[in-house]
Chains A and B, each alone.
Chain A
Amino acid sequence: KAGVTQTPRYLIKTRGQQVTLSCSPISGHRSVSWYQQTPGQGLQFLFEYFSETQRNKGNFPGRFSGRQFSNSRSEMNVSTLELGDSALYLCASSLTGRKEKLFFGSGTQLSVL
């Protein structure tokens, strides 16, 4: 079974631009969640989707958005990029999203210049 796939692996953008990151969950997994990891703040929850519905959202500004498609693939978008958005963005999938282990992708390393 293929693992969680995130694309692209690395991304360099400039301030003010927008970016879209993609995540393909493990086949059969319907829950996809996104996390941001930085040296200063650690690993922080962005949002979680299940069957195309956002069930939970972390404390991030509205510039961070996401969506999930009918095949469970998910995308997250960051508009008007700021230097502080530079981070490793991790996607995780699971069957239901509750009280079960999450399978993480390798992440997308975003650098904002």
Chain B
Amino acid sequence: SQELEQSPQSLIVQEGKNLTINCTSSKTLYGLYWYKQKYGEGLIFLMMLQKGGEEKSHEKITAKLDEKKQQSSLHITASQPSHAGIYLCGAARSNDYKLSFGAGTTVTVRA
């Protein structure tokens, strides 16, 4: 089973509407990363959260980390076509030099 569970697997949102993606870890989190990917391309870094309760925002994207629940959420406000893509969460463990990734959430924004 996946160490990181992302939900939903995919979603379609009307342009201008908000959306939320969740990422839950089955193991202790020492860092949570959000990336965006266009199909068949590389990953673009969005945000890194390292402390429980931490919340970061960039433009219309906000990410939060709930350390107790081992969970993070990514919220997009007033979605635009440029927000379409695959969103992946990645987790760091204490002694690893790697990230484990969730399966991804495919976001479609309809005009």
Chain A residues lying within 8 Å of B102, measured Cβ to Cβ, are 42
Which of these, B45, B48, B101, contacts A43 with CB under 8 Å? B101
Q: Does A66 contact B (CB under 8 A)?
A: no
Shortest beta-carbon distance from B3 to chain A in Å:
11
Chain B residues lying within 8 Å of A43, measured Cβ to Cβ, are 88, 90, 101, 104
Shortest beta-carbon distance from B90 to chain A in Å:
8
CB pair A48–B98 under 8 Å, yes or no, is yes
Shortest beta-carbon distance from B88 to chain A in Å:
7
CB pair B88–A101 under 8 Å, yes or no, is no
Q: How far is the CA of A100 from the CA of B99 in the complex (A)?
A: 10
Which of these, A45, A90, A105, contacts B98 with CB under 8 Å? A45
CB pair A42–B103 under 8 Å, yes or no, is yes
Chain B residues lying within 8 Å of A44, measured Cβ to Cβ, are 101
Interface residues on A, range: 20 to 34
Which residues in window 1-48 of B have CB below 8 A to A? 2, 30-31, 33, 35, 40-45, 48
Which of these, B2, B30, B40, B48, contacts A101 with CB under 8 Å? B48
Q: Mark A85-113, 1 if CB is under 8 A from B, else 0.
A: 00010101000011111111111010000
Shortest beta-carbon distance from A105 to chain B in Å:
5
CB pair B97–A31 under 8 Å, yes or no, is yes
Which residues in window 52-106 of A have CB below 8 A to B? 55-56, 58, 88, 90, 92, 97-106
Shortest beta-carbon distance from B91 to chain A in Å:
11
CB pair B40–A56 under 8 Å, yes or no, is no
CB pair A109–B40 under 8 Å, yes or no, is yes
Binding site for A on B (CB under 8 A): 2, 30-31, 33, 35, 40-45, 48, 50, 88, 90, 92, 96-104
Q: Which 8 A-B pairs have the closest CB atoms?
A: A43-B101, A104-B42, A104-B43, A45-B98, A97-B97, A48-B97, A106-B42, A56-B97
